[in-house]
Amino acid sequence: MADLGARVIGIDASERMIANAGRRSKGYENRIEYQVTDCTDLRKLTTLGERRFDHVVCTMALMDMSEIDTLISAAAKLLKTGGDFVFSLCHPCFNSG
């Protein structure tokens, strides 16, 4: 997304995952910001900025969250009018142990 010109804020509840992401994105410091944020905490999510974002993207995470209602509610608050919430996940028939 940053390569396409987007200014990105990457969030995860895990400090380790945020540290890994930061190491993997050297050279993007002016385009990508990382924050340790719990996506089940509506107050924390809304501190990112209500009506601030054109897009909210959740890639391969919803199926690993204990509850998703908070994230979905927060996305509605974070998005500008006409903004998009895009998510991807594995379909159960394609999961393998």
Distance CA 59, CA 56 (A): 10
User: Is the pLDDT reported for residue 64 higher than 90?
Assistant: no
List pLDDT tens digits, range 1-38: 999 999 999 999 999 999 999 999 999 989 999 999 99
Whole-model pTM? 0.83
Given this model, what pLDDT does residue 63 score?
85
> What mean pLDDT value characterizes the chain?
92
Enter the DSSP assignment of 37: -
Q: What is the mean pLDDT of residues 34-57?
A: 96
**The one-letter amino acid at 22:** G
| Bridge partner residues of 34 (DSSP) | 10
User: Is the pLDDT reported for residue 92 higher than 90?
Assistant: no
User: Is the pLDDT reported for residue 97 higher than 80?
Assistant: no
Domain locations along the chain: 1-36, 52-97
Q: What is the mean pLDDT of residues 75-82?
A: 97
Distance CA 40, CA 4 (A): 29
